[in-house]
């Protein structure tokens, strides 16, 4: 089934070229089904890149999905044009009376700062509080996962001695969990972060369950026991070249940056990286939409409370 997005969104042509089933708004209006309503709170600076990555995964599922792109009203984006944001994005005030089957909260390049010093922290807390009564299931990514764990469970983050940067192997600890249905016992996922969550605090929290973990990168996927919140410390949505682009960006600025771990064949940055996490990334988001959201969300979203 398709994902419904505006026909002139930059991601549309990219996804159509990749044979991802997208549907324009006119055609979608004639579909006699109740699609899933998904909101994406995009905190990343390169919003077009991030929205394309997430829409690619959401559009590669068998479920009809409607998307609302959300930006923070309390923050001015320096890397995405005001025209793009005005045309395709809504603010919390625009959607606060809506109800959604799912919400995705992305990462953000603010991890060196205490949560309370982030300029949009108050607004983000307002959205996370709102999600408890207006969203069936929320998926938090990278810094968004750290922020969610801190807001909902008081779990702190800490600075790493070196950036966790590369493609890391993870072990599946809860193979029967719906989010991991069809997963291999081991899988790969990109990480790009300077901070990590307090793993002891996660393990000691009775309301949280650790689903997967890497011997090097630590905890990756965490679920709340009530199935309402999921936290991913890695970036399953990353494209083949995202880590390479980050490396080249920092290297060209003269910043101290190591090659991404297990990324370039033979650690040769002239070689094309293998896109060897894509299958599990698609499976993860398919499982979230199907087995976590679609199978359990109420038909009438007004019953959420």
**Residue 242 tokens, joined:** 């995202």
Q: Give me the catalytic one of 37, 49, 51, 237.
A: 237
Longest dimension (CA), the chain: 55
Smallest Cα–Cα separation from 53: which of 219, 245, 212, 282? 282
Cβ count within 10 A of residue 301: 17
Cβ count within 10 A of residue 154: 10
Q: Give me the catalytic one of 140, 177, 235, 236.
A: 235
Q: Is 142 a catalytic residue?
A: yes
- Pairwise CA distance, residues 267 & 264, whole Å: 5
**Residue 220 tokens, joined:** 């990756």
Q: How far is CA 193 from CA 109, 115, 160, 209, in A?
A: 9, 15, 9, 22
Beta carbons of 221 and 230 less than 8 angstroms apart = yes
- Pairwise CA distance, residues 129 & 122, whole Å: 11
Q: Is 16 a catalytic residue?
A: no
Q: Is 237 a catalytic residue?
A: yes
**Residue 28 tokens, joined:** 């979608």
Coil, helix or strand at residue 67: strand
Q: Give me the catalytic one of 49, 64, 140, 142.
A: 142
Q: How far is CA 13 from CA 41, 59, 96, 222, 281, in A?
A: 22, 13, 30, 34, 21
For the four alpha carbons of 102, 157, 53 and 74, in that order, the dihedral sign comes to positive
Active site residues: 142, 235, 237
């Amino acid at each position: 089934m398709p994902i419904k997005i505006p026909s002139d969104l930059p991601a549309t042509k990219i996804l159509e070229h990749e044979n991802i089933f997208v549907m324009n708004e006119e055609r979608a209006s004639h579909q006699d089904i109740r699609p899933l309503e998904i909101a994406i709170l995009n905190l990343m600076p390169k919003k077009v890149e991030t929205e394309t990555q997430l829409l690619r995964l959401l559009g590669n599922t068998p479920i009809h999905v409607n998307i609302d792109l959300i930006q923070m009203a309390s923050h001015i984006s320096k890397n995405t044009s005001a025209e793009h944001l005005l045309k395709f994005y809504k603010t919390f005030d625009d959607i606060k009376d809506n109800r959604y089957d799912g919400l995705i909260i992305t990462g953000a390049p603010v991890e060196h700062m205490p949560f309370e010093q982030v300029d949009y922290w108050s607004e983000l807390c307002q959205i996370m509080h709102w999600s408890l009564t207006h969203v069936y299931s929320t998926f938090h990514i990278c810094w968004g996962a750290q922020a969610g764990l801190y807001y909902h469970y008081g779990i702190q983050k800490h600075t790493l001695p070196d950036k966790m940067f590369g493609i890391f192997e993870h072990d599946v600890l809860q193979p029967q969990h719906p989010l991991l249905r069809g997963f291999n016992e081991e899988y790969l996922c990109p990480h790009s972060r300077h901070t990590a969550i307090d793993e002891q605090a996660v393990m000691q929290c009775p309301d949280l369950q650790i689903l997967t973990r890497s011997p090097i990168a630590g905890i990756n996927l965490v679920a709340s026991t009530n199935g309402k919140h999921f936290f991913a410390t890695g970036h399953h949505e990353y494209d083949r070249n995202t880590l390479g682009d980050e490396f080249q960006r920092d290297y060209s600025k003269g910043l101290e940056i190591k090659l991404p771990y297990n990324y370039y064949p033979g650690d040769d940055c002239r070689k094309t990286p293998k896109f060897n996490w894509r299958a599990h990334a698609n499976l993860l988001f398919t499982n979230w939409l199907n087995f976590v959201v679609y199978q359990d969300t109420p038909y009438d979203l007004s019953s959420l409370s």
